[in-house]
Every structure is written in C-alpha cells, then in structure tokens.
Amino acid sequence: MSIGYEVEREAKERFDAIAERLGISSAVFFEQVVAHIDLNGEGVPTWWERPEELPINPD
C-alpha cells in the first residue's frame, strides 16, 4: 500500500539511509518504527510534546 503523503526531503533521505544501514527496505523500517512506538494511555507517543492549552475565557 502506498502511504500517500509528502515529507521533507532531508527527513526521507535520513530515514532511507538508516534503513540502508540496517540492510532492509524503507517500507520494512517504517513498519518496524510504527510497531515499536511507545504510546501513553491516550495512545499518543510518549515523546510527543503537546502545546499547552490556552485557557478559555467564558466572557
């Protein structure tokens, strides 16, 4: 299946280079990265920093 989205060239080249050093395809590397992401209780990666929410002023 094609993923169907665009990424920055530098990120793709880095990703592909890592896969090449591992001796696997970028597709296999992608699948393994997704399979090994640690998620918190909300299903969000543990390393993902959410921006602080702005307080809502009811006025």
Residue 13 lies in a domain: yes
Task: Determine what percent of the chain is predicted with pLDDT higher than 90.
Answer: 75
Q: What is the pLDDT of residue 44?
A: 94
Q: Domain count for the chain, please give it.
A: 1
Query: For 3-58, where are the E strands, in sequence order?
Result: none
**Is residue 55's pLDDT more than 80?**
no
Cβ-contact 19, 25 below 8 angstroms: yes
The range of the structural domain enclosing residue 13 comes to 1-38
Residue in the structure block whose two tokens are 């896969």: 19
Residue in the structure block whose two tokens are 């060239």: 9
Task: Determine what percent of the chain is predicted with pLDDT higher than 70.
Answer: 88
Residue 52 lies in a domain: no
Residue 55 lies in a domain: no
Residue 6 in tokens: 């665009």
- What's the Rg (C-alpha) of the chain? 17
Residue 53 lies in a domain: no
